Amino acid sequence: MQLYSFFNSSTSYRVRIALALKGQEVEYHGVNLRAGEQRLAQHLELSRIGGVPVFVDDNGVALTQSLAIIDYLDALYPQAPLVPTEPLLRARVLEVAQLIACDIHPLNNVRVLGYLQRVLEVGLEEKDRWYAHWVAEGLSALEVLLQRHGSGPYCFGEQPTLADCCLVPQVANAERMGCDLRAYPRVVAVYDHCQAQPAFQRAAPSQQPDFTQ
């Protein structure tokens, strides 16, 4: 199996967490988003949108969306499932995962922030305000969901799920960007617990072959 990834990409980070939780090793290919390697012809052959992650299985099947990749991994390696089968719990896990993947991340990814700066000529201060605003809106909603429906050290109980795979990279990015997280104690508690677990540690940006400061 192969994974085309960028160490600081939160979508790649989600997949790395899932792989680590499943105990699966992959051949790692770093794609430097800062240098524009995602726009090179050979990468566009793998991902027409020019992004990461790209997961390639042992049969050469390539997938490009993190949630689809994790769902595929869950089907291939059903032990310790990341998406529960009980209907309401499954819905709650997907609700949190999609809040992060659909409502928070797309507004603050590299392509969007780059467009704000390069094309719309938004200054650095305004770009950072944009980032902080959408993170605050999303994490506020996430905090409410976890306070109302979550339990245990992870988002939902004693075992990690897809929700945790999505939460950790998003909070890590918010920390890196200097966002104030004091209003989200439940979110931060889940994040801190996950960061102490070996699988999450192996998936961290600093542990990847293409890591740079």
The domain 87-199 is classified under which CATH number: 3.30.360.10, 1.20.1050.10, 2.40.37.10, 1.10.3720.10? 1.20.1050.10
Block means of pLDDT (10 residues each) for the chain, 213 residues, are 97 98 97 93 93 96 97 95 97 98 92 91 93 96 98 97 98 95 98 98 97 87
Domains 2-80 and 87-199 fall in the same CATH topology: no
Residue 80 confidence (pLDDT): 87
> 156 has which bridge partners?
151
| Extents of the domains making up the chain | 2-80, 87-199
- SS3 helix, strand, coil % of the chain, rounded to 5? 60, 10, 35
Residue 105 confidence (pLDDT): 94
CATH architecture of residue range(s) 2-80: 3-Layer(aba) Sandwich (3.40)
Convert the pLDDT of each residue in 37-46 to its tens digit. Answer: 999 999 999 9
Convert the pLDDT of each residue in 80-112 to its tens digit. Answer: 899 999 999 999 999 999 999 999 999 988 889
